[in-house]
Chain A
Amino acid sequence: MAEQKTTTGVVKPEIPEADVIHPMENLLRMDRMPHIWCSSCGIGIAVTAFTAALEKAKMDPNMVSIVSGIGCTGRVAGYVKLDSFHTTHGRPIAFGTGIRVANPNIKVVVFSGDGDLIAIGGNHFIHAARRNIDMLVVCVNNFIYAMTGGQVAPTTPLAAYATTSPYGCVEPPFNIPYLAESSGAVYVARWTALHVRRLTNSLAEALQKKGFSVVEVISPCAMYYSRINRLGDGLDMMRFYHDNVEIRHGEDTKNLDIGFQTKIICGKFVDRERPTYMERYSQWLTEVKGAKK
């Protein structure tokens, strides 16, 4: 897209006249298109599913705030037309916690990648789950740090290649649903970029859920993960998901490890009730104020 610089220094992109209105135009920042993601990347699919879920769950877009960290998925906040924040690496959950605690009427959505949320942001992830902060966390897992050039991530399967594991990954990966459940999340699901309809339903359900909800979205990264591991292009990855995904709702999250090109178990694993942070907080507040009267 050609970009112009005006005398005031304001950079205004030229927006071509659109013949067709995008169905999600009211929820996307069309003046930022085209987005930065590679063709055959799954992040765009996750964003489409998310915007569809917002409509499906009948959320008031003025009362939803989206926070992203750094990385390919970290750019999501910049394309979604909500009150959106692009924050530091690994800290969107902490930033979102501040929003939610300071204004409990805002639904906070954290949209970020596996490296951002599980490596550098791992501490914030487990503590927000423990506190049960009312928040939806969408974790797009492409098994690699893609924006920086394909480095090994805490989700890279054993033996898979990455630019910083040239002889194959030697570290066992995190099982995100297991981590989320054992830390206290009330809703945990996993889908791939192939399962758009199920992913949309799951996100809509999670948006309405009170408490810390985690939806993991397995996404192809044709540019780095597939290429260095010789797994073909995005379409081949989709075909792999088609052939190797098994849907098992309610599966024990212990069994959800992902190996290198092994079967991937998807579904909704956890859907339970726990008092949220703000519920406990206001209960405590009522007791304190009651005691003082």
Chain B
Amino acid sequence: MKTDPKGVLTGSHELSGNHACAEGAFAAGCRFLGCYPIVPALEISQRFLERAPAVGATFIQMEDEVSVLAAVLGASWTGKRSMTVTSGPGLSLMMEHLGLGVMLETPCVIVDVQMVGPGLGIPTRPSQGDMMQSRWGSHGDYEIVALAPSSPQEMFDFMIKAFNFSERYRIPVAVMSDEYVAHLVERVVIPPADAIELVPRRYYKGRKDNYLPFKRDKDFVPPMVDIGKGYRFHVTGLTHDNRGYPIMFEECQEYNVHPLVRKIRHFADEIVEVQESNLDDAEVILVSYGATSRAARKAMEEARKSGIKVGSLKLVTVWPFPEKRVAELAKRVKAFVVPEMNFGQIVLEVERCSYGAANVFFIPHGEKGVEYTEDIQAVIKRAVQEKNIKDGVIECVSKGV
């Protein structure tokens, strides 16, 4: 399916990450935004609102982030591609409806422009502190797809990817931006509308009185219908059978919830995307995502100049985590070096998936972020010299902190 050209601002533009996000959403066919003001995400909604009349999109600013995601789920069931934008404290409030979105299998996109936390934190500084929350924040078992852009261009491109994943697998998809990417202005090239391929929503096409909202296709994804089309269906956030009726048995929990997890795990190979460079001869691999991957790339280039064999594994999809690839690489490298703008989140996944075959060095960046290539270089040198495999994550406190 080609996208609607009305939303595509084809050309080359100087855009901030936040503005590129709104343009990416329009290009991905998003026609509903639920929002609540929060620094540093607010420019996304401002841009969306300014352009909405021309594009034919609707929006509403709700009374809090709890109601925002509820409204987005409601809007998605009318057939509109829907999204919301927020930051850490807002994401915390959205956890309730993230779970409902997973249970009702409602496609939607949540953009989280991460700020420093916990609590009130520093709303004007970047962080990658919500990575685990996006995966585990709502109660119960679920799987989610999360993408981490590192530039305005990626912000634009990943919005299209995010909407495609959400429609393909009927799940809420998180785009984990941060304050750095949000306010970074770079050149963004927006392709013509006929070059943007969208995954259409999978609609049920059978008899109206025969529709079962959760009767799954072979790939565990049930086809959907819109409100107001005469199907008169019922869906519930309680554990339900394929008619959408609540059934409170353990068997039904298995029947209902297991596919929610399986539909992502089973297709993880299709979803997972990484960008690799210089891995062939690498002794040490930098694993990074989002804004920190910019610092990692620079550190890698510098280290290569001084003759150290360093490669880079940049995560495009943080969730599902590229388990197989990391396990494979762990067998043939000395160490992974993981810089993050937090005190240890995705590094835990890297450690888990390396199964003790390689050292895992961690550089907690606090909020100093992407300027810190010197620290990364220092840790790379240490990682190359280290002879023994040590237990657990080796935390390297950066000089600046």
Instruction: Name A residues whose Cβ lies closer than 8 Å to a Cβ of B.
Output: 5, 9-11, 29, 31-32, 61-63, 65, 67, 77-78, 81-88, 91, 93-103, 105-106, 123-124, 127, 281, 285, 288-289, 292
Contacts and interface: CB of A to CB of B under 8 A. Distances in A.
A100 B228 CA distance: 11
Given A9-B252, A77-B234, A85-B77, A95 B71 contact: yes
B246 interface: yes
Contact of A86 (B234, B247, B249): B234
B231 interface: yes
16 contacts: A9-B255, A29-B234, A31-B243, A65-B228, A78-B245, A83-B228, A86-B234, A86-B235, A87-B100, A94-B62, A95-B74, A97-B62, A98-B82, A101-B75, A103-B228, A106-B228
B203 to A, nearest CB: 15
What is the interface of chain B mostly: helix, strand, loop, or mixed?
A: mixed
A64 B228 CA distance: 7
Contact of A95 (B70, B243, B245): B70
B124 interface: no
B66 interface: yes
A127 B36 CA distance: 13
Given A62-B228, A88-B70, A102 B53 contact: no
Given A63-B228, A103-B228, A292-B54, A97 B60 contact: yes
B251 interface: yes
What is the interface of chain A mostly: helix, strand, loop, or mixed?
A: helix
B66 to A, nearest CB: 7
Q: Which residue, B73, B229, B246, B255, has most C-beta atoms of chain A within 10 A?
A: B73
B280 interface: no
A102 B251 contact: no
Interface in B247-281: 247, 249, 251-252, 254-255
Contact of A102 (B67, B82, B255): B82
Given A11-B247, A62-B228, A91-B67, A78 B252 contact: no
Interface residues of B, number: 52
B230 A62 contact: yes
Q: Which residue, A65, A67, A93, A292, has most C-beta atoms of chain B within 10 A?
A: A65
A29 B232 CA distance: 10
A285 B53 CA distance: 6
B60 A101 contact: yes
Contacts of B71: 94-95, 97-98, 101
A102 B236 contact: no
A10 B242 contact: yes
Contacts of A86: 234-238, 246
B63 interface: yes
A99 B66 contact: no
B263 to A, nearest CB: 15
Contacts of A99: 74-75, 77-78, 227
Given A83-B233, A94-B74, 11 more contacts: A9-B251, A9-B255, A11-B247, A11-B251, A65-B228, A83-B77, A99-B77, A102-B76, A105-B228, A281-B58, A288-B53
Nearest to A62: B230
A292 B63 CA distance: 30
B103 to A, nearest CB: 10
Contacts of A100: 74
A236 B68 CA distance: 43
Contacts of A29: 234, 245
Contacts of B252: 9, 11
A91 B97 contact: yes
Ranked nearest first, the 9 interchain pairs of A and B with the lowest CB-CB distance are A98-B74, A98-B71, A94-B67, A102-B75, A86-B236, A9-B255, A94-B70, A103-B78, A98-B75
A83 B231 contact: yes
B314 interface: no
A97 B228 contact: no
A123 B62 CA distance: 10
B67 A97 contact: yes
Q: Which residue, B74, B252, B254, has most C-beta atoms of chain A within 10 A?
A: B74
A10 B252 CA distance: 8
Nearest to A67: B74
B170 interface: no
B194 to A, nearest CB: 25
Contact of B74 (A77, A78, A102): A102
A203 to B, nearest CB: 19
A65 B229 CA distance: 11
Nearest to A131: B60
Contacts of A94: 62, 66-68, 70-71, 74
Contacts of A285: 53
B72 interface: yes
B66 A78 contact: no
B70 A62 contact: no
B64 A98 contact: no
A67 B71 CA distance: 12
B334 interface: no
A65 B74 CA distance: 10
Interface in B54-100: 54, 58, 60, 62-64, 66-68, 70-80, 82, 96-97, 100
A97 B74 contact: yes
A127 to B, nearest CB: 4
Contact of A78 (B227, B229, B236): B236
Contacts of B228: 62-63, 65, 83, 103, 105-106
